[in-house]
Structures are given as structure tokens and as C-alpha cells.
Structure 1
Amino acid sequence: MTASIATRLPAAALVIALGSAFAALPAAAQSADKEKCFGVAAAGKNDCAAGAGTTCAGTSKMDHQTNAWSYVPKGSCEKTVSKSSSTGYGQLVAFKAAAMKDDMMKK
């Protein structure tokens, strides 16, 4: 019986290791055609974070939070509206919020 347990443990470890490796594949494939875009996520809808106030997915406290990012199709970030950005569009890196104009706050 001891030999049987000794045989099963390495096999189980191999199964766990392979399962973990395959579980990471969709995330890698997803990021190939997407890019991180800061300042575009709705409150609680971010994919992850870049600084204080957030930890990861779903933890942004406000719409267009400047240190929280979401995946968007590659090449579309700087065309996606962001009410907190000085350009009015998402950024490829975390940024400090621009002063919001009255007309932007109404949208």
C-alpha cells in the first residue's frame, strides 16, 4: 500500500502542475489582442489596479478612476472616453486626474 501512495503522489502533483499551466493560457491569449487602459472603467468594473485604493478586479471606487485599468481591444484605449483624463480619453499608464470641466461632469 505504501508503494501505491508513493506512485500516486507524483502523478497528482503533475496533474496539478499541468492544470495550473493550462489555466494561465486564456489570460495570456486574452492580453495578446487587448491592452490595459487606465481611466475608462466604471466603478467596480475594473480588470485590475495600479495603486492605492484598489487591489484588483472589481475594486475601483469611482467611474474613470485613474489608477484602475480595464482591458480594451488593442489600439482603442486612447480613443475610449475618460472623464478623468486631461485628453478626455483613456491612457496606457496610470495618471493623475485632470480638473473636470462642468460640461464633462454632466455627461
Structure 2
Amino acid sequence: MKITHAALAAAIAITASTAVSAADAPQMEKCYGVAKAGKNDCKAGAGTSCAGTSRVDYQGDAWKLVKAGTCTHIRTPKGFGSLTPRT
């Protein structure tokens, strides 16, 4: 199999850009108590199974993925976001 310089350069460029993109992606964390009803990400505690199943706004055991380091700064009518489930 013969590889041209252009093809090799393109393959290297694609690999390098993919690695940079993954490194630049923001880290995410679960933030409890910030989701509106039906807008949570997966697994919202007892009686729910996955995304979109929270029944009330800002349910304490329902979470949303947010940018790491921002959760406890998110203010809701029920208080701030939490890194652990609330009852």
C-alpha cells in the first residue's frame, strides 16, 4: 500500500485536531436540585428511571450535567445547586 505525503499529512492533522478537541472539552459534573420538571439528566432517584423523569422543578435528587466548578454557584428558588442528592 502506497501512502502519499499529502495523505499522511492529512491523517496526522486529523489525529492532532481530534486530540486537541477532546482536551479542550469542558469537564462536567452532576448538579442536583437545578433541573426543571422533566428536564433532568439520567436517574433522578426513587420512582424515576432516567432523563426527563423528574416530577417537580428543582427536585433534590434529580441532576443535570453542568460545567465542573459551577454547580454550587447555580441559584434556584430552592437554594443553590448541590454536588450530592438532597431529600
How would you bin the TM-score normalised by the shorter chain?
0.5 to 0.7
1:93 aligns with 2:84: yes
**Which has the larger share of helix?**
1
TM-score, normalised relative to structure 2: 0.65
Which structure 2 segments of 5+ residues have no match?
1-22
Counterpart for residue 38 of structure 1: 32
Residue 49 of structure 1: how far off its partner (Å): 2.2
Aligned equivalents of 1:94 and 1:53: distance in 2?
Answer: 15
- Is the 1:46–1:69 contact (alpha carbons within 8 Å) kept by the matching residues of 2? yes
How many corresponding residue pairs?
Answer: 64
Structure 1 consecutive aligned stretches of length 4 or more whose deviation exceeds 3 Å: none
> Relative contact order: is structure 1 or structure 2 higher (C-alpha 8 Å, sep ≥ 6)?
2
Aligned equivalent of 1:66, options 51, 60, 64: 60
- Is the 1:50–1:68 contact (alpha carbons within 8 Å) kept by the matching residues of 2? yes
Aligned equivalent of 1:53, options 37, 40, 47: 47
Counterpart for residue 75 of structure 1: 69
Matched letter for residue 29 of structure 2: E
TM-score, normalised relative to structure 1: 0.54
Which structure 1 segments of 5+ residues have no match?
1-28, 97-107
**Matched residues, percent identical?**
52
